[in-house]
Structure 1
């Protein structure tokens, strides 16, 4: 038996231009065998019924019912392992790198129904003078008599049958994924999409910002539950600017609505990825050739991965079924953004894009609202950091050393939330003449500070 001491995985960036889509490189250390360095973990489209590739690599399928794609491991040519040994070691590497399983989109029954927007649209007889905004966005497929009479009074050229047929058509349309109804935006009021489609993402809204109807969007609770504080603030600001009525649900607690990530979380029901079955017992395998403590170095993926060995879908689509953009595609989109769109997208871009567009971003927005910021990223981009805005970031985790080093770059004319969130006894004693905090304010950050540190700080503040 060959005893595996350690497996080191090196992340590789997904590149769809490669014939072999390598998603990781493994270096394996043994206690009784020379090390194997540079084993390539990859996935590829299946073109034959053979269990092995032409090079002799064993194929691992994500779903035996669908053998379109497989994962495999290409070992260096100089290793002297038998084919069976390579197969077993490949399984260990793939299982440690993720978990062998399927990736699919979860859809509820209503979305599984076959709805063909093109054919059903052709059956609608649009009357002359029809406008997509003549039917209010809150009107669903079942129309009560009061709403019907109001629509008919305002639009005498419409018939009851057409109104029923059209409302049913647009209801089914927005149950599709936004990428599927993009071609039909001219036939439906975007206010209705904002009100009724629960699959909208923040980026989709930013990309269509000129069409977004905030008065309707403020009632789409599943979408609101996923939006960043930046976009929720934009909604509130637009409602005020347009002098529109604010949703009574959060009218009296706007600040909490904007800053609390859990606001409307009870409505966040859209999950496109299959959940893992926690009750499913893990398969136990007896290895013939290798001894290894499974799970010791398990790596759960990266920004290009989902749980499980990546299928084509998991490489190309995000959690909500939108296609991930290549650099070139995103360049085209970003260069067409208005100043307002750039500001909003700065709050939600992942580090790769933040770095790529670092010269064009709204760094004030990014520093205050972006949840992807890390200390390492900040250190690499210090030239761009707006420390006053960073002081209000409620998600970024910083070390005490970072805060000490940059303490004087924050604006201490008023309390700095990011410092209070990370406040320690030592920090307070060293900078008590700089940091603005009192007992009531500290209490607001109790969950971040922790009980023991909180008690020590309260004692110091009461002196």
Structure 2
């Protein structure tokens, strides 16, 4: 048995110039075997029925029911492992590495597409009196008899064939990247885009705010999983204004839906194995060639596109495949924003843009919701900072020293969440007459505080 001593994963950036879509590099140290350095973890589109690649790497499919993509490990040529040993070690590495973000599979701007929206639209021959809003957003490419009869009743002058063809066209349209179907928005109800396109970003939604249909968007779970608390608050408020039915998945826990970054996170990544399979594997896995304590080097993140040494593509496009804007381009867009759009954008803009538009930014929204705020940025923009709003920020990280330095700037007439999230025994003892906190609040922010500090603080509060 070869004893694995340590696994180091190296962050990599997707580079479309490479033949393999590498998402991580692993260095493995053994206690009774020479180290293996430079094992390449990659994903690729499947082109054969074989269980192995032409190079002899074993294929680990994302979905055994749909063997379109697989992950694999390419080992250095000089290692002397058998095929079975390579397969087992590859499984260990992929299992430790975790999951791969959807960016790697569908949103890269260089991906090839077979669907041509313009050619397909020309074949449709849309009738002049056809209203794109007459087909509800929940209607997909496969239409049952009940829905079809209803659609024909609403559109008596339109044929059944056209409805089928149109629904199939719009279904394929929103599978494209939003930058590719922008020109075709007049031919599709934006409510359907909100409902069915999983590549929408918060900025895209804000910049199309007048078209956004929150009643449909609330069912687009991959998009919801990426939205900030600011925009989720906007969705809920708009639903209430419209007296619309709120999604039953979160209608009873709206605050949790708004504040929890992991809400619907199961829709945001593609997993090599689902949770149930993982739990089952934990019990039955029995390695034949390697001794290894699973999980000790588990990859902490779930993203594929990691900022390391940037490839050319990653400098031009963001991790959702949208082209990054120059200062001039962003200036032109920002000048067109409404007050509401500026408020919503303030919650998600990175520090570069917050500084550039500092005299136009809604600083209450920025301080309350923006996760990109850093101590350095806050200290450099003190005259703009709304400390009362910053006190409610649940997403940016601050040090104990920073909080202590600016403690008096916060409103202590009520509990201050950002202080409680970063509360330590020393900070509490020094300022317990100022900081408002009790056992319930402490428990509410347990995950941020950490087990050790939580236990100590609970003891102090009980005295």
Q: TM-score, normalised by structure 1?
A: 0.69
Q: Quick one: distance in 1 between partners of 2:256 and 2:267? A: 17
1:305-349 deviation per Cα after TM superposition (whole angstroms, max 9, x unaligned): 955643331111000110000000000000100000000000110
Residue equivalent to 2:104: 106
State the match for 1:456 in structure 2: 456
The aligned counterpart of 2:218 is: 218
Output the CA distance in 1 between the equivalents of 2:452 and 2:206.
43
- Alignment partner, residue 253 of structure 1: 253
Q: Which residue of 1 aligns with 2:372?
A: 372
Counterpart residue number, 1:264: 264
How many Å separate the matches in 1 of 2:324 and 2:157?
Answer: 44
Report the Cα distance in structure 1 between the residues aligned to 2:104 and 2:448, rounded to whole angstroms: 35
| Distance in 1 separating the partners of 2:410 and 2:434 | 10
Report the counterpart of residue 119 of structure 1 in structure 2: 119
The separation in 2 between residues aligned to 1:108 and 1:370, in whole angstroms, is: 27
Q: Would you say the 8 A contact 1:199–1:270 is kept in 2?
A: no
Q: How does 1:64-463 map to 2 (within 5 A)?
A: 106-107=104-105, 113-269=113-269, 307=307, 309-463=309-463
Which structure has more relative contact order (CA 8 Å, sep 6+)? It is 2
Residues 129-175 of structure 1: CA distance to partner in whole angstroms, max 9, x if unpaired? 11110000000000001111111111111110000000000000000
Q: Extract structure 1 runs of 4+ deviating beyond 2 A.
A: 61-66, 104-109, 305-312
Following the alignment from structure 2 to structure 1, what is the Cα–Cα distance between the partners of residues 141 and 106? 18
Matched-pair contact (CA < 8 Å) for 1:438–1:461: yes
> Secondary structure of 2:414's match?
coil
Residue-by-residue CA offset, 1:347-397 (whole Å, 9 max, x unaligned): 110111011011100000000100101111100111100000100111222
- Could you tell me how far apart the structure 1 residues matched to 2:169 and 2:198 are? 17
Aligned-pair distance for 1:64? 6.2
Q: Residues 186 and 439 (structure 1 numbering): CA distance in 2 closer, same or farther, change over 3 Å?
A: same
Residue 433 (structure 1) shift: 1.4
Residues 348 and 136 of structure 1, relative CA distance in 2, 3 Å threshold: same
Distance 1:64 1:456 in 2: 52
CA contact (8 A) 1:198 1:270 kept: no
- How far does residue 181 in structure 1 lie from its aligned partner after superposition? 0.2
Matched with 2:290 is: none
Residues 214 and 238 of structure 2 are in contact (CA less than 8 Å); yes or no, is this contact kept in structure 1?
A: yes
1:254-274 C-alpha deviation (Å, 9 max, x unpaired): 000000000001111379xxx
Distance between the aligned counterparts of 1:105 and 1:426, measured in 2? 43
Question: Is residue 316–residue 323 contact of structure 1 (8 Å, CA) maintained in 2?
Answer: yes
Size of the aligned set, in residue pairs, is: 332
- SS in structure 1 of the partner of residue 156 of structure 2: coil
- Tell me, yes or no, if the aligned pair for 1:371 and 1:395 is still in contact at 8 Å: yes
The change in CA–CA distance for 1:410 and 1:330 in structure 2 (over 3 A counts) is same
Determine if contact 2:375/2:398 at 8 Å carries over to the other structure: yes
Distance 1:147 1:415, change over 3 A: same
Whole-Å separation in 2 of the counterparts to 1:377 and 1:270: 34
Shift of 1:399: 1.8
- Structure 2 stretches lacking a partner, 5+ long: 1-14, 21-101, 272-304
**Cα distance change, pair 150–127 in 1 and its aligned pair in 2 (3 A):** same
Give the aligned CA root-mean-square deviation in angstroms: 2.1
Task: Measure the CA separation in 2 of the matches of 1:157 and 1:62.
Answer: 48
Report the equivalent of 1:69. Answer: none
Give the superposition deviation at 1:65.
6.1
TM-score where L is the length of structure 2 = 0.69
Tell which structure's C-alpha radius of gyration is larger.
1
